[in-house]
């Protein structure tokens, strides 16, 4: 029998801002992690207006990573980057995301470390207790996808 103790707060280090074609922005806040997921709001808003950019901002206020969903370009701490998807060494033989319908690729990698205490009872049954010692987001992934093509950056 497992008894799970109260989970540990994840504590976001990077928060997102979603930018839409109609000028709307949806901003994730640190307190959002406990209740309503702001990604639900992003998905709902995409039905009304295209998502044109998505940015991750570190809570220190000094770091940011943005993906432009119109051009496929990335901007990391103010420096523009261009990701090549399915690059070929033949000149001009790579996927050009400009003019394509790019979809957001975004997820978080969560790590949980736990201690499990197990006790063998007199009747030889095992009683276990799961005690989380750490639960945190290890990395964030941000980028775009278009059919079977994609460009993703790991952040954190």
Residue 2 has pLDDT above 90, yes or no: no
Q: What's the mean pLDDT in 69-84?
A: 89
Number of domains in the chain: 1
**DSSP bridge pairs for 139:** 109
Q: Is residue 89 part of a domain?
A: yes
The Cα–Cα gap between 39 and 12 comes to: 14
Q: What's the mean pLDDT in 57-83?
A: 92
pLDDT tens for 102-143 read: 999 999 888 777 777 777 777 877 777 767 676 677 789 999
pLDDT tens for 9-63 read: 456 789 999 999 999 999 998 877 655 678 999 999 999 999 999 999 999 999 9
Give me the count of residues in the chain: 156
Q: Is residue 88 part of a domain?
A: yes
Our measurement of the distance from residue 126's CA atom to the centroid of its chain's CA atoms, rounded to an integer in Å, reads 38
Q: Is residue 82 part of a domain?
A: yes
pLDDT in the model for residue 10: 56
How many CB atoms are located within 10 Å of the residue 120 CB? 9
Q: Is residue 38 part of a domain?
A: yes
Q: Is residue 115 part of a domain?
A: no
Range of the domain at 72: 7-110+137-155
Q: What is the pTM of this model?
A: 0.75
């Amino acid at each position: 029998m497992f008894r799970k103790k109260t989970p540990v707060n994840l504590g976001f280090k990077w928060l997102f801002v979603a930018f839409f074609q109609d000028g709307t922005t949806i901003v994730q806040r640190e307190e959002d992690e406990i209740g309503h997921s702001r990604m639900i709001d992003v998905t709902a808003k995409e039905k009304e207006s295209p998502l044109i950019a998505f940015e991750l901002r570190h809570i220190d206020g000094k770091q940011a990573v943005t993906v432009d969903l119109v051009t496929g370009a990335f901007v990391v701490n103010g420096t523009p980057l261009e990701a090549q998807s399915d690059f070929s060494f033949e000149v001009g033989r790579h996927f050009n995301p400009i003019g394509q319908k790019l979809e957001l690729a975004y997820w978080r990698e969560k790590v949980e470390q736990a201690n499990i205490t197990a006790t063998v009872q007199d009747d030889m049954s095992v009683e276990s207790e799961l005690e989380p010692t750490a639960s945190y987001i290890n990395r964030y992934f941000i980028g775009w996808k278009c059919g079977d093509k994609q460009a993703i950056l790991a952040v954190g």
